[in-house]
């Protein structure tokens, strides 16, 4: 099989550091080789799994009885763009944060609040990554896509992708491979090089507070990136060999979206943000001191959907930072209840047992079933 790589445990290829050895592992180094390898695997009828940076995958202890295709193709190409804009075509294997760093260095705005998110660029549209008031959807033009059913390379526009909160048609079942991603950013370089390129307007209260500005303000893209990296690091959400809380798959559960009527039945102190009608400008974040009931904005008359805080639900179901099951090497991050971390030698089963306990506690206490954000391969909750 072309582009075969040495047998390697998935624990070595994922940020959670769990998972056994797959039957086959491929790592095509360029786009054409990736297409050829995928078509060969699909033609064989072998089970297959895509793996980019491994930051959003929890793999089972028994490995994968099929072929893992690692997406390692790299490169960023600048395309023709309208005045004041920059268009980029990014190969799927380009590390996402390397791309953000490149944009910030060049004074291009639109993805700076997505700094520090691990993983590959090709995976970013799959779950419409977002953080601190930005989502990739705002900058996304479309993707080049190798369709599993037809075997053809096609272009999917942003509209075709059906993007939503941490989802897309790619996550919902359209099978294939994102080969490259097209983005459009604002070219905020100052003519003559006088002054720092400015960020997009700040849309997240915690980030605005960290920068000492009001919502809607703009700061330099470099300053905003530094603030985001510091916030993520304080939560163990930046990969750091010196930080045991960073050995995770990031946020393990998505924030649940429920009906307005259901949200009204939750305790008054539960953070909740209307999704439709649009979310209010001020978004409250959990702090060490919690959220005071008087800080929660009242809900308007329904019906509409409301986003809840998974972190608040977990903490108020009695599961605190640092919690672990007796004898397990998997635990809740000491910085952030949404992250399950590998404290050294954890198995996928350890992770699954803890995640299942969290789901059961939250459902019992609040009637909400938390949904895992990572892709589970050979792991059942």
Pairing of strands 248-251, 339-342: antiparallel
From the candidates 55, 246, 251, 309, which is the catalytic residue?
251
On whether the CB atoms of residues 57 and 117 are closer than 8 A, the answer is no
On whether the CB atoms of residues 354 and 339 are closer than 8 A, the answer is no
d(CA 115, CA 132): 10
Is-catalytic flag, 251?
yes
d(CA 259, CA 163): 20
Is-catalytic flag, 166?
yes
From the candidates 17, 31, 70, 166, which is the catalytic residue?
166
d(CA 253, CA 312): 12
Tell me the three state secondary structure of residue 82.
coil
The residue behind tokens 């089972």 is 60
Pairing of strands 330-332, 339-342: antiparallel
How many Å from the N-terminal Cα to the C-terminal Cα in the chain? 34
* Residues ≥6 apart with Cβ < 8 Å to 254: 165, 166, 310, 370, 371, 372, 373
For 353, phi then psi, to 5°, come to: -65, -40
Pull the structure tokens for residue 319.
Answer: 């599961």
d(CA 370, CA 381): 11
- C-alpha dist (Å) from residue 142 to 101, 126, 155, 161: 21, 11, 7, 8
Please report the DSSP string for 178-216 in residue order.
EEEEEEEEEE-PPGGG-SPPBPSPP--HHHHHHHT--TT
Question: Which residues are designated catalytic?
Answer: 166, 251, 373
């Amino acid at each position: 099989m072309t582009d075969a790589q040495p047998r390697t445990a998935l624990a070595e290829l994922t940020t959670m550091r769990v998972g056994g050895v797959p039957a086959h592992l491929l790592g095509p180094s360029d786009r054409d080789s990736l297409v050829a390898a995928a078509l060969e695997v699909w033609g064989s009828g072998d089970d297959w799994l895509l793996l980019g940076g491994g930051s959003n995958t929890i793999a089972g202890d028994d490995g994968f009885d099929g072929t893992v295709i690692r997406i390692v193709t790299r490169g960023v190409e600048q395309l023709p763009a309208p005045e004041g804009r920059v268009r980029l075509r990014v190969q799927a294997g380009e590390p996402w944060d390397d791309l953000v760093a490149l944009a910030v260095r060049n004074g291009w705005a639109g993805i700076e609040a997505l700094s520090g998110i691990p993983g590959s660029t090709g995976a970013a549209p799959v779950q419409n990554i977002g953080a601190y008031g930005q989502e990739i959807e705002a900058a996304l033009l479309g993707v080049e896509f190798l369709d599993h059913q037809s075997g053809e390379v096609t272009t999917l526009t942003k509209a075709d992708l059906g993007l939503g909160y941490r989802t897309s048609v790619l996550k919902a079942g359209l099978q294939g491979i994102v080969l490259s991603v097209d983005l459009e950013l604002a070219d905020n370089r100052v003519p003559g090089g006088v002054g720092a390129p400015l960020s997009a307007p700040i849309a997240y209260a915690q980030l605005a507070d960290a920068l000492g500005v009001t919502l809607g303000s703009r700061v330099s893209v470099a300053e905003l990136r530094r603030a985001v990296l510091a916030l993520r690091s304080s939560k163990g959400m930046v990969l750091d060999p010196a930080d045991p809380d960073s050995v995770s798959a990031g946020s393990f559960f998505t924030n649940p979206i429920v009906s307005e009527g259901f949200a009204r039945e939750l305790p008054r102190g539960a953070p909740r943000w209307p999704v439709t009608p649009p979310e209010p400008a001020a978004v409250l974040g959990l702090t060490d001191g919690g959220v005071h009931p008087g800080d929660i904005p009242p809900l308007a008359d329904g019906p509409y959907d409301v986003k809840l805080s998974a972190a608040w639900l977990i903490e108020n179901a009695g599961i605190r930072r640092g919690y672990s099951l007796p004898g397990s090497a998997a635990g809740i991050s000491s910085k952030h209840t949404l992250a399950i971390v590998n404290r050294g030698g954890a198995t996928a089963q350890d992770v699954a047992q803890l995640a299942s306990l969290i789901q059961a506690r939250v459902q019992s206490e609040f009637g909400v079933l938390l949904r895992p954000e990572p892709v589970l391969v050979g792991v059942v909750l």
